[in-house]
């Protein structure tokens, strides 16, 4: 095989044909004093639900605009809860104290809801748009363009400054690392070009220098076989420390073997949220564990967060790309290195691909202000 052909293949990642696609856009803006003054007539301080009419009026405008643009799946959220979107064969919307979780299959499911409590003043309002239909990744630029058109019209009708609206575009590909072992045939190739470059190819320009992040979250289930690989510590507060150390050591050594230098091991029952940040940080916020990474920093190391006294069902293994992991082709090489590292990790822990799963979710994310 010619050398140029070999190099090109190295920059393509081949993932199972059964991989599931998701895309969603989130827009957030503060419920500022300026906005409250503008809509003072809709706020009834004497009422038990003083903000009910305000939220409903904004939601009505939001949904009316989306109707005109044929945007079917959209959510108005004014309860300060974190919106989380995942692929699921069954449609489900669930709430916890801090989260609203949307599980859906974009090929079949649509959804439209409002989430607010008129008795409470929210800190911010979130507008969520869920992509639907087929070929989500191929149509992502078109969906992005439609959503920004809707948001621009919403800002115009509500007199909210475009500079106050923060937009994030999230795209996922989810698959079982061992899909082939379970009889899944065929694959799909990706270079994992940055979103900005993919959109430019579709003549969709983005604001200058949006924040961008590429990363992967892997669910590693803790079954009886894995538990038996480590002794239980006699100290109740350190009961599962040997188990988590075993997993972390296997993961980090496998990752470093393939030049993957940024990531985390999470085993404390919290939901890890990976975001772009100027400085690396780890912040616990109730149910959520916020992990901030700066892709300009090439070697942040590995963060390990676990509760040694608590056994979790699943350990989250996280890889985060730095600018060094991006080639002129994209992040395909990075994804290939992740797969090699995971297979090395699985081999160390004697994982059976025929009967066990390791769900890999590849994320590409950008964030910017609309104005």
pLDDT at 286 over 80: yes
Residue with tokens 């949307």: 102
Residue 1: predicted pLDDT? 45
**Tally of CB atoms within 10 A around 274:** 22
Q: Which of 1-10, 95-104, 125-134 has the lowest mean pLDDT?
A: 1-10
Residue 4: predicted pLDDT? 43
pLDDT at 62 over 80: yes
pLDDT at 370 over 80: yes
pLDDT at 5 over 50: no
What is the rounded distance in angstroms from the CA atom of residue 68 to the CA atom of residue 88?
28
Residue 8: predicted pLDDT? 53
Closest listed residue to residue 172, CA positions, set 316, 365, 358: 365
Contact 162, 152 (CB under 8 A): yes
Segment holding 264, helix H or strand E: strand 262-267
Residue 51: predicted pLDDT? 97
User: What integer is the mean pLDDT of 10-17?
Assistant: 91
* pLDDT band per the 50, 70, 90 thresholds, residue 296: confident
Closest listed residue to residue 193, CA positions, set 362, 337, 342: 362
What is the rounded distance in angstroms from the CA atom of residue 159 to the CA atom of residue 269?
41
pLDDT at 298 over 80: no
pLDDT at 209 over 90: no
- pLDDT above 90 coverage of the chain, percent: 89
pLDDT at 104 over 80: yes
pLDDT at 221 over 90: yes
Domain ranges of the chain: 3-14+212-369, 20-178
pTM score: 0.93
Per residue in 235-276, pLDDT (tens digit) is 999 999 999 999 999 999 999 999 999 999 999 999 999 998
What is the rounded distance in angstroms from the CA atom of residue 229 to the CA atom of residue 264?
21
């Amino acid at each position: 095989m010619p050398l140029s052909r070999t190099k090109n293949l190295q920059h393509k990642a081949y993932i199972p044909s059964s991989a599931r696609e998701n895309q969603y856009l989130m827009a957030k803006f503060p419920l500022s004093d300026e906005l409250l003054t503008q809509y003072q007539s809709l706020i009834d301080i004497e009422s038990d639900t003083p903000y009910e009419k305000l939220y409903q009026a904004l939601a009505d405008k939001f949904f009316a605009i989306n109707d005109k643009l044929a945007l079917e799946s959209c959510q108005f959220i004014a309860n300060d809860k974190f919106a989380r979107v995942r692929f699921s064969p069954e449609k489900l919307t669930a709430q916890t104290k801090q989260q609203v979780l949307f599980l859906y299959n974009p090929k079949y499911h649509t959804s439209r809801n409002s989430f607010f409590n008129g008795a409470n003043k929210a800190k911010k309002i979130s507008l969520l748009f869920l992509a639907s239909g087929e070929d989500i990744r191929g149509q992502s630029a078109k969906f992005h363009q439609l959503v920004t058109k809707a948001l621009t019209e919403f800002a115009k009708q509500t007199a909210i400054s475009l500079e106050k609206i923060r937009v994030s575009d999230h795209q996922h590909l989810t698959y079982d690392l061992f899909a082939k072992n379970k009889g899944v045939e065929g694959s799909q190739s990706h270079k994992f070009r940055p979103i900005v470059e993919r959109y430019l190819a579709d003549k969709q320009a983005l604001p200058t220098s949006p924040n961008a992040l590429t990363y992967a979250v892997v669910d590693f289930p803790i079954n009886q076989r894995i538990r038996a690989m480590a002794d239980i510590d006699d100290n109740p507060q350190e009961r599962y420390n040997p188990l988590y150390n075993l997993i972390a050591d296997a993961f980090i050594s496998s990752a470093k073997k393939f030049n993957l230098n940024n990531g985390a091991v999470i085993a404390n029952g919290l939901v890890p949220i990976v975001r772009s940040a100027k400085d690396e940080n780890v912040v616990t916020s109730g149910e959520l564990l916020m992990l901030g990474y700066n892709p300009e920093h090439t070697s942040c190391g590995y963060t390990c967060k676990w509760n040694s006294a608590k056994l979790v069902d699943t350990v989250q293994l996280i890889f985060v790309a730095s600018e060094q992991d991006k080639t002129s082709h994209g992040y395909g090489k990075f994804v290939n290195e992740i797969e090699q590292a995971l297979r090395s990790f699985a081999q160390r822990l004697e994982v059976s691909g025929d009967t066990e799963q390791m769900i890999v979710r590849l994320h590409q994310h950008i964030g910017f202000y609309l104005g």
